[in-house]
Amino acid sequence: MDAIFIQILNGLDKGAAYALIALGLTLVFGTLGIVNFAHGALFMLGAFCAVTFQKLVTISDRVRDEGVTAFVAYKETPYLEIWFGDTGATIIDYSVPLSILFAIPIMLLIGFVMERGLIKHFYKRSHAEQILVTFGLAIVIQELIKAYFGANPIPQPAPEILAGSANVGSWFGLGNNLVYPWWRLIYLTFSGVTIFSVFAFLKFTTYGMVVRAGMRDRETVGLLGIDIERRFTIVFAIAAMVAGVAGVMYTPILPPDYHMGMDFLVLSFVVVVVGGMGSLGGAVCAGFLLGIVQSFASMNEVKEIFPGIDQIILYLVAVIVLLVLPRGLMGRTGVMDD
């Protein structure tokens, strides 16, 4: 019972991550019709916003370690700690959540520049060409990050107070054996809030209404004298920002490295397509579905019956869904059918 409960929690947690990463992709897919292979790179850039922020707040006074003679080794003390004492230490401790504030403007800017500079020229080009150019861009971004930050993952600890686990079992009266890391619970909440905000934005604002109308019929909206191009730029920037903050928040779980975008690229495409093209709700459902199924498939009891099932379960579910439902869970007709 405990095992089942905790795997559901795992699944929700995973699903939230998948949904959040896929959210920006499906926005760009569904509204702009762009197959964005650089989406993973945006996720990675977000994570490196956190790294950069951490590097900034931990600029350190360096004292040479005299015990080492062969090369210069330093014991580092961040200036923030020297100048502000405990307050400085707290800022460093909270560098990951604080770096969201840093990441939001940067990711919006990156998204804006990317759309104006490159993506807008590709709205009318074939999907194949979109793939080539965005894939090329992803490689370039990733190599630049590697050239500067190296290839090794860079640890980004969560704040001290959130480092341990919460006793989830006692909340539900299930005993003391059910614990779950605080940070993962926060991630779960965070992605819920983010997903809801994006929904609300599209659903309840005039702005969002225009965008949704543009998704359905771009020409007519254009004929109404609405500058749909500009709105699309902003949609792209928002997508980049969502991918970015997803990256920031994921760093305590997965120390970021330059390749993490590519690692998530295929997965996010699978989530989006299983959800159905052009459907935000579908992508979210698909994220949770795949997360939960994957968690259960990884249980030892299941693996004993089907060895290696956890290796393929994501793809197996994707195949079954797509064969049973022609347009994924909630896909609309006519979007990316050809």
Partner 1 sequence: MNDIKKPGVSRRGLLKAGAITGLVASTPSFFIKDAWAADFRNNPKNTGELKLGFNVPQSGPYADEGADELRAYKLAVQHLNGEGDGGMLNTFKPSMLTGKGVLGKKVTFATGDTQTKSDAARASAKRMIEKDGVLMVTGGSSSGVAVAVQSLCQEQGIIFMAGLTHSNDTTGKDKRRYGFRHFFNAYMSGAALAPVLNKEYGSDRRAYHLTADYTWGWTQEESIKNSTEALGWETVQTVKTPVGAGDFSQYITPVLNSGADVLILNHYGKDMINSLTQAVQFGLRDKQVNGKNFEIVVPLFSRLMAQGAGDAIKGILGTTNWNWSLQDDGSQAFVKSFGAEYGAPPSMAAQTCYAQTLLYANACEMAGTFYPPEVIKQLEGFNFDGMGNGPTFYRAEDHQCFKDVLVVRGNENPSSQFDLLKVVDVTPRAQVEYDWNIFGGSLGPYIVE
Partner 2 sequence: MTDMKKPVLNDMLLLFIFSAVILLMPFWLEPFGAAYPDLLQKFAIYGIFAIGFNILLGLTGYLSFGHAAFLGVGSYAAVWSFKLLTMNVLPAVLFGVLFAGALAAIIGFLSLRRSGIYFSILTLAFAQMSYNLAYSVLTPITNGETGLQLDRSDPRILDRMFSEGEPAAGLPSTDLFGVTMSGYPGFYFCAVILIVCFFISIRIFRSPFGLMLKGIKSNQNRMQYTGLNTRPYMQTAFIISGMFAGLAGSLLAVTDPLAGAERMQWTASGEVVLMTILGGVGTLIGPILGAALIKYFENIFSSFNDTVLEQAFSFLPESVLDVVVPLMGLFVGSGWQLTLGLLFMVVVIFLPGGLVEGFNRIFKFIRSGKKRKGLVEPTQDQASE
The footprint of partner 2 (CB under 8 A) covers 35, 118, 121-122, 124-129, 131-133, 135-140, 142-144, 147, 262, 266, 269-270, 273-274, 277, 307-308, 311-312, 315-316, 318-319, 322-323, 326-328, 336-338
* Closest CB 245 distance from partner 2, rounded Å: 25
* Closest CB 273 distance from partner 1, rounded Å: 20
How many residues belong to the chain?
A: 338
Residue 124: which of partner 1, partner 2, none does it interact with, CB under 5 to 8 A by kind?
partner 2
CA–CA gap between residue 298 and residue 303 (Å, rounded):
6
CB distance 118 to 132 below 8 Å: no
Kindly tell me which of 9 and 272 has the beta carbon lying closer to partner 2. Answer: 272
Residue 10: which of partner 2, partner 1, none does it interact with, CB under 5 to 8 A by kind?
partner 1
CB distance 261 to 44 below 8 Å: yes
Residue 121: which of partner 2, partner 1, none does it interact with, CB under 5 to 8 A by kind?
partner 2
Residue 101: which of partner 2, partner 1, none does it interact with, CB under 5 to 8 A by kind?
none
Residues engaged in binding partner 1 (CB under 8 A): 2-3, 6-7, 10-11, 13-14, 17, 65, 67-76, 146, 150-158, 163-165, 177, 179-181, 183-184, 252-255, 257, 259, 263-264, 294-295, 298-300, 303, 308, 310-311
Compute the C-alpha angle 44/106/147, nearest 5°.
Answer: 45
CA–CA gap between residue 258 and residue 310 (Å, rounded):
26
Kindly tell me which of 134 and 295 has the beta carbon lying closer to partner 1. Answer: 295
Q: What is the DSSP string of 198-209?
A: HHHHHHHSHHHH
User: Cβ atoms within 10 A of the Cβ of 262, count?
Assistant: 17
CA–CA gap between residue 236 and residue 27 (Å, rounded):
8
CB distance 271 to 283 below 8 Å: yes
